[in-house]
Every structure is written in structure tokens, then in C-alpha cells.
A = this chain, B = another copy of it.
């Protein structure tokens, strides 16, 4: 098991659990879902093919959250993952995509599978280095941004987001803005980048704790993107499952304080793990959203193996996210478990030199 974890991607760990295991691995909320999600679901109604673009009612409900939008600006997808895959497949092979590094681990394979070429811009203290960004963006077809970020937990400043919005609009470069953690910002409201050239990717998974249901979407006012994605999706998967779309629509009726209550919990956990890792001596960025920390870690591969094999603590290699000298820890688990996990990490540090 430990060897497998060393050799492959997080895919091997998804869904794997054990009683004594403390998992800082999986990137899914552990909080209870809103009860609204289950109201009015009628499985028998959801058996016939639906529109490739997604159910009209769900898209209309989303349009009310995006000022000036209509149902036509959305495509409902099998999670944010499918949205990104389909967008990238719209473009010609050989086009370049600017990719801030560290990145969400699927971005790179998705870019490469679509025949596109990644151009990396290294983050500075976990945030976009706007000078490097400006230098590299003109040669690109598109830019991928992810704020709040998995794996850094950082949120780009509104100033940076507005500057990216302006530069890319001027140059006519697409922005794929992956905002799946937009409701998990502890510091301020999300800033939704807009413009003809912006494609927002989002999901119901993190906000409503429904990762396994696989419902996400993209938003764009660019008709060629919406139509291009629908054309591809017609052949690659057809409509997104209708039960999931119904659950997503029902979940949207959840009162806003559900989200606010969650944010308080995440903030507490963030403080706990950040302070705990600091005390252990780790060098890390303070997360402002999402639920990940990415501490620097020497001998990361060895430490991950020891943590798993000897202490039954799951972590992910920073390497999978383009950050080879780091480990990623998700803090989607309760404070008691985080505490226990930190204790075991402290013990494991006696066996491997990580600082």
C-alpha cells in the first residue's frame, strides 16, 4: 500500500479508508450535507435523456447567481473535471496554456491529453507572480487560474484578479477560472472574474458536500465555447445524470447561513492545523480558502511512506501538484482527528529528516 502511494497518483487513495487511518489525503468536505438536497427528488422522473447543456431549471437558478446571465451561458457537467476537459478539447492542438504552479493535479494531464502545451508560471508565496504572468501570457491561448487554490489554500487578491481580467481581455486570451472553492473563502467574498473571454468552472461538490454526485458546470458568455463544449459532450457523455442535477437544484435552496456556518468550521480547522504545523517547525503558507496546506518537506516521498506505513496517516505528495519539495494535507476532518494526526506527524519527524 505504502509503495503504491509512492508510485502513483492520488487516484489510488480515493475512497480508501480504514478505522485507524487518519487521512489528510482526500479533498472532500466531511461536513453534513444540507437536508434541502433530498427534498422533492423523484427518481422515476429522471430516466429519460435530458438536454446535453443541462436541465433548464438548474441553469436558470444558476443564472440568478451570475448577474446579467441567462440559462444559455451555462453547461452542466460531470463535475468541474469534465467541464475543464471539455473546454480544453475545444481548442487546437499545440496552443499554449499558462499554468500557475503548484497546480491542481488534474490540470497538467488534462492540458496534455488535449494536445495543448503548458507554460508554467511559478507562484510567489502561493500566489500569482503578476510580473511573470504578464511576461508569459501574450503567447498563450488561455490561462488557468484556481482561487481559492487546491493545493495551496491561497486566495488571489482582488487587485490581482482584476489585473488578470484586464490584461487577458485586452489580449483576447481566455481565462479558465476554476472557482470550485468559491464558497470556502474565510477572508472575504469571492471575486468573480468576468468578461467575454472568461470561462468560469464551478461545482456543487464542495459547497454542498456532494462530491460523489458529480455535478459541476461552466459559465461563459462566449457562444463558441458553450456550443463547442455541448457538441463534444454529445458524443463523450451526453446529458449529466439527471438525479444529480435535481439534487443540485434542491441544494441551491439551502439558506445562505448553511455556508456561513461551514466557513466558521473551516476557519477553526485552518487555524488549528496551520498553528500546529508551524509549532512542529514546518514552513507553510497560511490558507485563506479551500482546505489544504502545502508545507515544505524534505524527503517528502520517504516521509509520506513512513507516515502511512508506521503511523497510518495519509498525505499526498506535493510532486503530484508540481511542488516536489512539499506535502499536501487536506484538513477536511474534525479538529480532534487533526490533533491526533499532528501528534503522529510529530513522532514521524523523529524518523525522517523533513525540516
Chain A interface (Cβ < 8 Å from any Cβ of B) = 9-11, 14-15, 26, 28, 33, 37-38, 41, 43-44, 46-52, 78-79, 81-82, 85, 89, 106, 109-110, 113, 115, 209-215, 230-232, 234-244, 247
Contact = CB atoms under 8 A, between A and B. Distances in A.
A1 to B, nearest CB: 15
Contact of A241 (B15, B44, B209, B244): B244
Contacts of A234: 9-11, 14, 106
B235 A106 contact: yes
**How many identical subunits does the complex contain?**
2
Contact of A237 (B15, B44, B82, B244): B82
A52 B243 contact: no
A230 B109 CA distance: 13
B46 A15 contact: no
Contact of A48 (B37, B41, B79, B211): B211
A237 B79 contact: yes
Contacts of A235: 81, 85, 106, 109-110, 113
Given A81-B235, A106-B235, A212-B241, 20 more contacts: A9-B234, A11-B52, A11-B230, A11-B231, A14-B52, A14-B234, A46-B212, A47-B209, A47-B213, A82-B236, A85-B235, A110-B235, A113-B235, A113-B236, A212-B242, A213-B242, A214-B237, A214-B241, A241-B243, A241-B244
Top 6 closest pairs, chain A to chain B, by CB: A106-B235, A11-B234, A78-B237, A85-B236, A212-B242, A241-B241
Contacts of A106: 234-235
Contacts of A44: 33, 38
B210 A239 contact: no
15 contacts: A28-B48, A28-B49, A33-B47, A37-B43, A38-B44, A43-B247, A47-B212, A78-B238, A78-B241, A79-B238, A89-B113, A113-B232, A113-B235, A237-B237, A244-B244
